[in-house]
Amino acid sequence: MPTAVTTGSAIPELGPPGVRGICFSCDSIKDMDVAEETATRLGPTATWYSVGILADDQQLALECAEFCRRHGLHALFHPLDLDVCGTDPLDDRLLRELGRRADELDSPWLNIDLAMWVRQGETLLESLVPMPLIDEAVDWAVDRIKHAQDVIGRPLTIENAPYPFVVGDRDILTLMTRIAERADCLMTIDVGHLYGLRVQRGQNPVLPSDDDIAWDRVVEAHMSGTFIRRFDGGVRLVDDKHDWPVSDEVWDLADALLPRAPHLRSVMAEAEGMTADELTESVRRFARRADHWWSAP
Ligand SMILES: [Fe+2]
């Protein structure tokens, strides 16, 4: 079983040794037929499959594990109900269930958005609330991530959530670095989410502060389509669209940032809502660009 990561640049090899490549996601709850068809067509072009399920759904976890075995894919577990930035207390029973699902999937880490999925017991699957970009969020998230990793028994990789609205003025990658170093966890850069957030704030997609990010902790990256609508008065609404193709601006940002991450193992085409044709083409497009992203041989 993987253990929590160590600090600094001495991050041990996690998961299947030497494996890195393209991942794809699908709606595992509704669209496993799309995943089946896509995996069959792709063959070795895809390396990982992202399993987005709830902690108690053992049957679906086992089905996804079997799907991965059949297609030679490695599973990456993306729980939909772990709230490291929520306000409800963490539930140890749920954390132990997450650990079991991760064991069943043999996922080297659990990817979790820095956001709130559940509020007073109500699941907010379609409208997760992103972590406020304030210093106080660091203490809040660190304690919860440490506890979650201890109970689950596997590392978490924290992801910058989508920001359809923004509270606070801190940079998300800077806050993530502070959280990851203190909680001793991994990081996932969602390039589309990052692009959307910075555009929404009128910033450049790449900032000077990006030089100081804990790139050695980044093991995953995600990309999907980006929805931007500009309103009178300079107001912008930005969100990601998993069933849209990746835009040129997001590809460019990926090319600029991902080679900085020496332990990057998986770049995911997020694709819930795509048909098998669209998803297959999307993953092939990722594979054609992948040489830009791996910084080490
Ligand atoms: Fe993502």
Q: What percent of the chain has pLDDT over 70?
A: 92
pLDDT of residue 131: 95
Asked if the model's pLDDT at residue 4 lies above 50, the reply is: no
Q: How far is the CA of 193 from the centre of ligand 1 (A)?
A: 7
Q: How far is the CA of 113 from the centre of ligand 1 (A)?
A: 8
Asked if the model's pLDDT at residue 5 lies above 60, the reply is: no
CATH code at 21-292: 3.20.20.150
Q: How far is the CA of 234 from the centre of ligand 1 (A)?
A: 27
β strands within the chain, DSSP E: 21-25, 48-51, 74-77, 110-113, 115-116, 118-119, 122-123, 129-130, 156-159, 186-190, 218-223, 225-230, 236-241, 266-269
Mean pLDDT in the chain?
89
Asked if the model's pLDDT at residue 160 lies above 70, the reply is: yes
Q: How far is the CA of 162 from the centre of ligand 1 (A)?
A: 8
**What is the pLDDT confidence band of residue 243, given thresholds at 50, 70 and 90?**
confident
Q: What is the pLDDT of residues 118-149, one digit of tens each?
A: 776 777 666 788 999 999 999 999 999 999 99
In this structure, what are the phi and psi dihedrals at residue 264, rounded to the nearest 5 degrees? -60, 125
Q: What is the dihedral of CA 64, 129, 274, 286, to 10 degrees?
A: -80
Closest CA to 266 of 12, 47, 37, 35: 47
Rounded to whole angstroms, the Cα distance separating 161 from 158 reads 9
User: Could you give the angle at the alpha carbon of 141 between the alpha carbons of 267 and 264, nearest 5°?
Assistant: 20
Rounded to whole angstroms, the Cα distance separating 207 from 142 reads 24
Using DSSP bridges, classify how beta strands 21-25 and 48-51 pair: parallel, antiparallel or unpaired: parallel
Identify which has the larger pLDDT, 240 or 167: 167
Q: How far is the CA of 211 from the centre of ligand 1 (A)?
A: 22
Asked if the model's pLDDT at residue 61 lies above 90, the reply is: yes
Q: What is the pLDDT of residues 208-241, one digit of tens each?
A: 999 999 999 999 999 988 777 778 887 777 777 7
Range name among 159-168, 211-220, 230-239, 248-257 with the lowest pLDDT average: 230-239
Rounded to whole angstroms, the Cα distance separating 7 from 3 reads 13
